[in-house]
Structure 1
Amino acid sequence: MQPTTVEQVVLDLIVILTAGAISGAVCRRFQISSLVGYLMIGAICGSGGLGFFTSESEVLAHLAEIGALFLLFSIGMEISLDEVQEFAFRLLVGGPTQLLLVSIPSALLIRALGLDWPAAILLGSAIALSSTVLVFRALKEGGVQSTAAGVSSISVLIFQDMAIVPLMLMAPLLAGASDKSSMDLLKLGLYSLMFLAIIPISGAIVRRIGVPVLQRLRSRELLVLFALAVLGGMCYLAHELGLPAALGAFAAGLILSGNRLTQQVDALILPFRETFAAIFFISLGGLLHFQEAMQDPWLILIGLPVILALKTLGGAVALRAVGVRWPVAFCFGLGLAQVGELSFLLLSEGMRLDLINAAQYNQMLVLAIATLLLTPAMISYGIRAVGDHLAEVVRHVKKLKRPPSDVKEAVVIGVGPIAKQVASRFEMMGILVCFVDMNAVNTYPLEQMGFRTVTGDATKLKTLQQAEVDRAQLVLVSVPSDEAAVAIVRTIRRLNKKATIMARCRYLETRARLLSSGADLAIDEESHVASALLSMVDSLDLSPH
């Protein structure tokens, strides 16, 4: 008796998930990327191998597409708009430099092999993308993710993650499948701009309304449903506007990024993401036919070193362009030499649109798996090779727009242990300090010690005028309420356009609001406490033995 369609899909899912669990365990044991394991087990169990499942199943293809959407959703959540602003130079210079220096020569070489221009451009773009997950994990294990070279490499990867959306939009145009007139393309451009404008507005609504409500309800189930609703809603909106659902998934991640619940959402969504990602990558691996891929073995044997050399050189030049020294740039360029997971999104879209055929897809898949297998060893070698050249570390704080020079007067708002320590440092530097606090019990001892004090509510204009913030060169805001801190910073900036304003807040999401309100430097307690706790966990040596 032949199984029905539903039964066949269920059987395929059981095979895929079981194969994913086995490959994950093997990869964990031998410290190989799970991505490589998924692709390999898919190739073994798919129609090109043992034939345990058929990648041609329409339902299975839809499930794999959901996996791709979850992957883009998680990437969007990992990209904090604060970090993008913080490392804007590295991202906007290093990212395009690497993408262009790799994709253009790759496309020219592929065109020289006889492929048409649309296929050459698609394959060249796919080759240029690297693996964010694999590289970041390797840099973190090497303890170099905070070095100048490490941060620059991560910035290049973030740019690539962001570039996948316009590249996916480009694929139908290359295939000529859009059949759109100039007016249609103009309308699509306007819809794209409208959609992009919705992202920051939706993000602000989520932070100011959604997050407080969800925190009061304290329900994990509601949080998961809310995240999935945002993901589904943005994908549907993108589809209705004629944009790819991938753009909607990426936008949903950006909307939910940078607030107090981001890490919790990511943790709760993790089972869905990993399950559907396994289906996606194993299904992609199921398309691999080794016999077809090895019909031209010389193309594989020559293509692998060419890709590694081209991507290493392109990565090195990009890193050098943002200030990394040549020896370090070349060694870290090795870490960007693989073909990443997002490349498979582009390749599968190209195959669906008949831009590339099955043989070309198989050859690219073999080359990509080979580069992914070599990546950990290449990064490890690069870190050992540069050695002491990695002393320069980039601090994850925003550089002052108005660095204080010849500071004579400072105002400290909020008298607590933190503010007192900073004020003590100011005094040692010969700076006159005025303290502002609502509680006279806090200001009285300081007044007895000879400091100028103002007792009153710093959110009131009159109190700040009494403290003479309009003539201060430096202002420190260290109050327990984040909302009060934002209001105080905004008022200070209206009174004094030139002062350097430093502010402390409790929550990560408030940091961006402080900076937009006029603060030059904002420190949030959440990030620093998390870093301290992670350092404590790392010191416990909890790695499996």
Structure 2
Amino acid sequence: MDLGLILAAAGIITLIFKKLKQPLVLGYIIAGLLVGPHFALLPTVIETANITIWAEIGVIFLLFSLGLEFSFKKLVKVGGASSIMAFFEVVVMLVLGYLTGKLLGWSTMDSIFLGGILSISSTTIIIRAFDELGVKSQRFARLVFGVLIVEDLVAILLMVLLSTLAVSQQFAGTEMLSAVLKLAFFLVVWFLGGIFLIPTFLRRASKLMNDETLLIVSLALCLLMVILAAQVGFSPALGAFIMGSILAETTKAEKIEHLISSVKDLFGAIFFVSVGMLINPAVILEYAAPIAIITLVTIVGKVVSITGGGLVAGQGLKTSLKSGMSVSQIGEFSFIIATLGLTLKVTSEFLYPVAVAVSAITTFSTPYMIKYSEPLHQAIEKMLPNRWKASLNEYSSGAQTINTTSDWQLVLKSYVLNLVVYSVIIIALVLLSSQYLSPFLSNLISAPDWANMATIVITLLAMAPFLWALVMHHPQKEAQARIWANRNYRSLIIVLSFFKIGVAIFFIAFLLDRFLSVQVALVAGLGILLLLAFFSKKIQEFYIRIENRFLSNLNARELHEESKKHHSLTPWDVHLTSFTISPFSEAVGKTLVELQVREKYGMNVAVIERGDQTIMPPTRNERIFPGDVLYVFGSDTQMEAFRQFIETERPEEAVDSEKEEIRLQKLVLRPESFLVHMSIRDSGVREKTKGLIVGIEKKGQRILNPDSELVFEEGDIVWIVGSPSRIKKLHEMESTSG
């Protein structure tokens, strides 16, 4: 009866909301209000305990589907600008939420949870609004998507920290740090283990799977991770999110997302209806003033914090403001955080309906905020002094800096990454051994010493490939070899090597100390390390197989999508293939007519993809930039010849061991300049600055990507992407010629 009542109310109300073009989430909440205990005109749900269980399942599937859209690889690819903006927003809203709660006279715990509720924007509502307004392809929308990805992970972290705080009832720094480290440890373990095992399992079982079995297996994996997360002390929702993010890296991700959508929609509807059932209209009326204040704080705080973060990241006023106006609401994660406070019995009952009311108001306002962001930007620009606008534009141009990576950066980054990853794996193996393997063998083998010895041997065999990788594996061999060639730095490489050996001995001793004395553990650890060195070749082969399996699974989705791009015309034995242009490629900076692709290789460049821009078909004067994806049409032989050329690096672009900064800078041509009356090609600017002329302002006319035959004239403003030091030398040559 209760389920029928809930779905009937949800169905009718959401049809009305669909007609009114309003978010369905709000319809579910209003449906819950109508069938809840605080509205007497309609039949009321009787067994609220059952509804609570269904709502918890709804949260699990909601987080599972968010994980499928999340992907940790997307997080790695999120630009620095989005990360800075997300950081600004979360910190500002946490502080504003806490201060607002305290000013309203609320308890410390209510104020802290209010900060958490206000700090996370609604992914569902923003994506829907972008779709309806047709702005998904705009630059600010891409920044907002990056902000939302970072916020998803921050929300998970907040749930863990708020749970820890609720239990301890005080700001205990050590407990907070312990909670964060515990979360980081299990995230790494689950991600590495999941990527290694699950894609392989799905691939090998794919012949046995139809839509039904894939749905059941996906739900089973989700709920198994939910159980695992609950067992180690995290919320079930975290486990669902992690499993979703693991499956997001597989080739079945889109299929699973499609299959799970109906289940998610059903239980998600129950969750949002249960949210509405907890709303007491009397409480909302009682707290109307706080709701209005918090709504204002949410909208203004989010707009200002995101806009400020965007300006600091050098994104310009227009892009930053439009981004800020887009995220001025709270949504599904805010409900989950509010529910967490109620479940842990640390927040007042009024906080939940207040949060829902604020969410409803800000959700209604979101499309209008996005729509009116452009007029607001124009109004602000008119009010800003010209000096401020010039400073903002100059800062924005200067912030678009590209840094080449030095050998030391590459080596140290690989050392730190390897140390973290292998340390987490080894610690996980030791903990699994002591918690599960040792008790199992103790029951199986009556002699305790023999049981301990068997545990040590089995665990060491499992640890061996990762201990070898920790000590011997060097992903950046070429960079390390270049550093080693400089005698001044050899001692540092040796110190790093001995440090890794010391860490490996520590981990072996860490294992042995659980079963033997400290002295024996240290001596045995050194002996075992020597034994591992003796069998280094066999262990290396085994490790490489493990690494290849992991990388194959990790990149399976991208490889699968890439394979779809290769289309062939069998009778002519030709096909369409894509090439990504390296920053050091011989082709960079040249036009298609200069490359002579058709004349030299008998092929055609059909399409050029540059970020979100698709150039189809490209003209002969189209210039090639780093990161461009060229789609070329030809035979295998022609493709191979073109590949060898495109992957050839320019001699002068060899990687330097020092960091070199690349900026966009301008050069104003004076009457006495030696460049006046010379063409771009004859001027030698590219060779002198190792830069690229990307634009020229000529008598008020702006020319982007000018032709190499264009002639410089007095008063031209030349925009060059290159090294500031080299462009400075060009300035000095100008002065000398004067």
**Shift of residue 55 of structure 1?**
8.0
Partner residue of 1:29? 19
The amino acid of 1:26's aligned partner reads I
Distance 2:181 2:585 in 1: 43
In the alignment, residue 472 of structure 1 is paired with which amino acid?
Answer: T
User: 2:61 maps to which residue?
Assistant: 70
Distance 2:306 2:187 in 1: 29
1:73-94 Cα deviation digits (max 9, x unpaired): 1111101334323223134211
Matched residue, 2:49: 58
CA distance in 1, matches of 2:117, 2:47: 23
Counterpart CA distance in 2 for 1:279 and 1:326 is: 41
* Residues 140-151 of structure 1: pairs in structure 2 closer than 5 A: 140-151=131-142
Provide, for residues 87-145 of structure 1, a one-character-per-residue CA deviation record: whole Å limited to 9, x for no partner.
Answer: 23134211111111122122112112222222211101101211111111212332322
Alignment partner of 1:196 out of 183, 187, 195: 187
For residues 21 and 619 of structure 2, the distance between their equivalents in structure 1, rounded to whole angstroms, comes to: 50
User: CA–CA distance in 1 between the matches of 2:201 and 2:377?
Assistant: 47
Match of 1:306 among 297, 301, 318: 297
1:255 matched to 2:246? The reply is yes
Per-residue CA distance 1:22-60 (angstroms, 9 max, x = gap): 122111111000011111111122011136344872222
- 1:15 matched to 2:14: no
Check whether the contact 1:191–1:241 (CA below 8 A) recurs between aligned residues.
no
Larger Cα Rg: Structure 1 or Structure 2? 2
Tell me the secondary structure at the aligned position of residue 320 of structure 2. helix
Change (3 A) 1:233 1:113: same
CA displacement 1:363-397 (0-9 Å, x = unmatched): 2222221111121222222256669x9xx9xxx99
CA 310–405 in structure 1, closer or farther in 2 if over 3 Å, else same? same
The corresponding residue for 1:332 is: 323
Q: How does 1:61-100 map to 2 (within 5 A)?
A: 61-100=52-91
143, 150, 160: which one aligns with 1:159 = 150
Q: Distance in 2 between matches of 1:45 and 1:240?
A: 35
Measure, in 2, the Cα distance between the counterparts of 1:399 and 1:83.
Answer: 19
Listed as ranges, the gaps of 5+ residues in structure 1 are 1-10, 432-440, 459-466, 475-495, 499-545
Whichever residue aligns with residue 144 of structure 1, its letter is V
Aligned counterparts, 1:430-449, within 5 A? 443=637
Letter matched to residue 266 of structure 1:
E
CA contact 1:328–1:386 (8 Å) conserved in 2: no
- The one of 101, 105, 114 aligned to 1:123: 114
Q: Answer yes or no: is the 8 Å Cα contact 2:139–2:319 preserved in 1.
A: no
Count of residues in correspondence between the two structures: 432
Offset of residue 452 of structure 1: 9.5
Structure 1 residue 278 displacement after superposition = 0.5
Task: Tell me which amino acid in the other structure corresponds to 2:356.
Answer: L
From 204, 218, 223, the equivalent of 1:232 is 223
In structure 2, distance between residues paired with 1:183 and 1:327: 42
Q: Give the aligned partner of residue 318 of structure 1.
A: 309
1:174 to 139, 156, 165: 165
Q: Deviations over 1:169-222 (max 9, x none)?
A: 122223236899999888766653442123332443356413323443351111
Calculate the TM-score normalised by the size of structure 1.
0.69
Q: Which moved more, 1:398-407 or 1:56-65?
A: 398-407
User: Residue 243 of structure 1: which of 234, 247, 257 is its match?
Assistant: 234
Counterpart mapping for 1:388-427 below 5 A: 402-404=583-585
Residue aligned with 1:354, SS: coil
Verify the 8 A CA contact 2:68 2:253 in the aligned structure 1: yes
Q: Select 2:38's aligned residue among 44, 48, 52.
A: 48
Residue 342 of structure 1: aligned partner: 333
SS of 2:250's equivalent in the other structure is coil
Question: Matched residues in 2 for 1:371 and 1:442: separation?
Answer: 56
Deviation at 1:324, TM superposition (A): 2.7
Residues 173 and 452 (structure 1), Cα distance of their counterparts in 2 relative to 1, 3 Å cut: closer
Alpha-carbon distance in 2 for matches of 1:119, 1:374: 25
SS state at 1:176 partner: helix
User: Partner residue of 2:481?
Assistant: none
Indicate if the aligned counterparts of 1:94 and 1:155 stay in contact, CA closer than 8 A. Answer: no
1:268, CA displacement in angstroms? 0.5
Are positions 1:38 and 2:28 aligned together?
yes
TM alignment of 1:255-294, pairs within 5 A:
255-294=246-285
Higher RCO structure (Cα 8 Å, ≥6 apart): 1
The match for 2:359 is: 368
The one-letter code sitting in structure 1 at the alignment partner of 2:585 is P
Q: TM-score, normalised by structure 2?
A: 0.52
Residues 428 and 134 from structure 1, CA distance in 2 versus in 1: closer, same or farther, beyond 3 angstroms? closer
Q: Please tell me the residue identity of whatever aligns with 2:370.
A: I
* Aligned-residue offset at 1:153: 1.3
> What is the CA–CA distance in structure 1 between the aligned matches of 2:320 and 2:138, rounded to whole Å?
12
CA displacement, residues 230-281 of structure 1 (integer Å, 9 cap, x when unaligned): 1011111111111111110110111100332111101100111001101101
Q: 1:197 to 1:304 in 2, by over 3 A?
A: closer
Distance 1:419 1:297, change over 3 A: closer
Distance in structure 2 (CA, Å) of the matches to 1:418 and 1:56: 68
Checking the alignment, whether the CA contact within 8 Å between 1:149 and 1:319 is kept in structure 2 is no
Maintained 8 Å contact 1:203/1:254: no
Counterpart-to-counterpart distance in 2, 1:398 and 1:188: 45
The change in CA–CA distance for 1:227 and 1:416 in structure 2 (over 3 A counts) is farther
CA distance in structure 2 between the partners assigned to 1:430 and 1:120 by the alignment: 56
Q: Distance in 1 between matches of 2:579 and 2:361?
A: 39
Partner of 2:648: 472
Q: How far apart, CA to CA, are the structure 1 residues paired with 2:82 and 2:50?
A: 38
Partner Cα distance (1:430, 1:180) in 2: 57
- Separation (CA, whole Å) in 1 of partners of 2:70 and 2:229: 20
- Assess, with a 3 A threshold, how the Cα gap between structure 1 residues 442 and 117 changes in structure 2: closer, same or farther: closer
Q: 1:185 to 1:217 in 2, by over 3 A?
A: same
Q: What residue number does 1:3 align with?
A: none
Which residue identity lines up with residue 281 of structure 1 in the other structure? F
**Residue 220 in structure 1 maps to residue 229 in structure 2:** no
User: Given the superposition, is the C-alpha separation of residues 442 and 190 from structure 1 closer, same or farther in structure 2, using an over 3 Å criterion?
Assistant: closer
Q: Which residue of 2 aligns with 1:524?
A: none
Render the CA deviation track for 1:304-349: whole Å, top value 9, x for unaligned. 3233222221222233333332244224322211121210000111
